[in-house]
Amino acid sequence: MSNWKVYLDTSVVSYLDQQDAPEKMEETRRFWKLLQKGEYDVYISDVVIREINNNTPKKLDVLLKYLDAIDYTVVEISENTIKLAEKFIDFGILKQKSFDDCQHIAAAILANCDLIVSWNFKHIVNVKTIRGVKAISTLEGYKDLLIYPPSILLEWEENTNEHPV
């Protein structure tokens, strides 16, 4: 089987240096070691780049060093990405104030990713969003996009050595 295509939203990159959440930071760093093995094709979008650039210079430097340690592809936000992201709002899955989160999901779908990895339980990794993304993906003719926190991938890799599909 070819490598899984995994999209990382900003929360995953940000938690690599999240001193006020040491457990999630440690899990994210362990997850990063998986990514460094090259068994996943990693994708981020220019939304991720823009959002991490909002950090302090010190934290930005740390995050960029982590990004330099893995191979990844940057997905450009296009007109199609914005249109798909707007559908998540139109269908009531997320609100306008969460438009960047909608763009993360749309970018992952349009990049044909298998999975989006996120620590954002409020807007992305939750039942309402997962069901809504599945409905819109099906309606629009895209393949299913799985949505998990890094801890789920770690659990599969460390306990079963199998991928989650």
Query: What percentage of the chain carries pLDDT values higher than 70?
Result: 95
pLDDT exceeds 60 at position 165: no
16 is a domain residue? yes
How many structural domains compose the chain? 1
* Distance separating alpha carbons of residues 139 and 103, to the nearest angstrom: 18
Question: Residue 89 sits in which domain range?
Answer: 4-160
165 located within any domain:
no
Q: Quick one: which of 152, 149, 156, 146 has its CA closest to 115?
A: 146
Residue 44's CATH number: 3.40.50.1010
What's the whole-model pTM score?
0.94
Per-residue pLDDT of 151-162, as tens digits, reads 998 888 777 655
pLDDT for 1? 43
Cβ 54 vs Cβ 68: under 8 Å: no
pLDDT in tens, 67-113: 999 999 999 999 999 999 999 999 999 999 999 999 999 999 999 99
Residue 66 maps to a domain: yes
The overall average pLDDT reported for the chain is 94
